[in-house]
Amino acid sequence: MRFPLFIATRYLISRKKQNAINIISGISVTGVLVGTFALILVLSIFNGFDQVVRSLFSSFDPELKILPASGKRFQADSATLKLIENTNGVAVYAEVIEENVLLKYNEKTHPARLKAVDKHYMDVTGLDTMINRMAPEQPKDGQFCIVGQGLSYFLGVNLNFARSIRIYAPNRDAKLSASARNAFRQKYIIPSAIFSIRQEIDERYIIVPLSFAAELFNTGNEVSAIELKTDTQTDVDEVKENLQERLGDEFVIKNRYEQHEFFYKVMKSEKWAIFLILSFILVIASFNILGSLTMLIIDKKQDMFILQSLGADNKLIRKIFITEGFMITFVGAITGLLLGFIVAWLQQTYALIKISTQGTLIIDAYPVDLQAIDFVWVLVVVGLIGFIASYVPVRLLTRRILK
């Protein structure tokens, strides 16, 4: 293999009889370089946005969520809670009730998703880090709510005034013949803070104390879910399997990915769809390699006859030109990977390229996350494209020239 590599290297770096061959070879290397650079940069940016979305969801969604296998609620009796508490890897848990309600503030009304939580909820999630506005004074009795930013905009909530939000919920005990007034239960609660996570969450959710919701819905010990946070030293999936085994088939346990499975699948599909599109562009760019090798084979026809007369067989001659094409691909790919790594690292470290968000997003620069697996995939794809672009023209042309 040393001889084909030696000749191919000489052909790559030496000047050809026709200057156009040098130009096309340079264009070939540049095409592979740009394609590889774009692949690494785009994949790293997608990884960065994925990390941002996951961090946002982690502020609202727990690491594990226990739901009833059937129905909307289940009894959170002392035996079930004790079993969860004594499971290895469970650091803290919170009882949760979720229901659809109607909110009224001043003269404005808007449907919402009420999430009632106990005192441990802030330890389970990072919602407290997503609060961007607070009332000057907090209610002394602890009966206050936290409103999503979008929801507060729809209702016109003003935290400077201790004005209550009226919450309407269906009355479970009302008879079918009951009047409209008796068909709904209502309670008042004062908004004390506004949080901002994601638009879909901000426009839907209002957070209230669990005791408040238990009275509003008349649920007693029933809850919609139990949300968990695990120890940092334990594996979340192991804790999930252990809990599922102990709780049985009456419950379904979901991790963060499974809580938003469709959303994460869409994000991953978008990433690999972009990968395929850029790979297709790289395939088009590789036609330069085909043209470069075609002209090189024609230019070096006399050299091939000399090599044949010295005892080289057709297989050895083909290896020379295939190696030449692969070297063009290799130089472009390695340079593109290196440049992609440098640019992505600079963006990740110094946030050079900003996003014009005007304060509407929690990030002000394009997020980047370098992952080794992306470099491997890009190198494999570029190498495969380069090999095919080299093998096909060499095989066809040398078959016609070499007898």
Which pLDDT belongs to residue 46? Answer: 92
Q: Shortest CA distance to 171 belongs to which of 235, 120, 215, 222? A: 215
DSSP string for 201-251: HHTTEEEEEHHHHHHHHT-TTEESEEEEEE-TTS-HHHHHHHHHHHH-TTE
C-alpha span between 121 and 228 (Å, rounded): 9
Q: Shortest CA distance to 90 belongs to which of 269, 272, 231? A: 231
The model's pLDDT over 13-45, given as tens digits with 9 standing for 90+, comes to 776 655 666 777 888 889 899 999 999 999 999
> 86: pLDDT confidence band, cut at 50, 70 and 90?
very high
Higher pLDDT: 98 or 128? It is 98
Average pLDDT, the chain: 87
- Secondary element (H or E) of residue 91: strand 90-105
The model's pLDDT over 301-333, given as tens digits with 9 standing for 90+, comes to 887 877 887 778 888 888 888 888 888 899 999
> In this model, does residue 361 exceed pLDDT 70?
no
pTM > 0.85: yes or no:
no
**In 3-state terms, what secondary structure has residue 205?**
strand
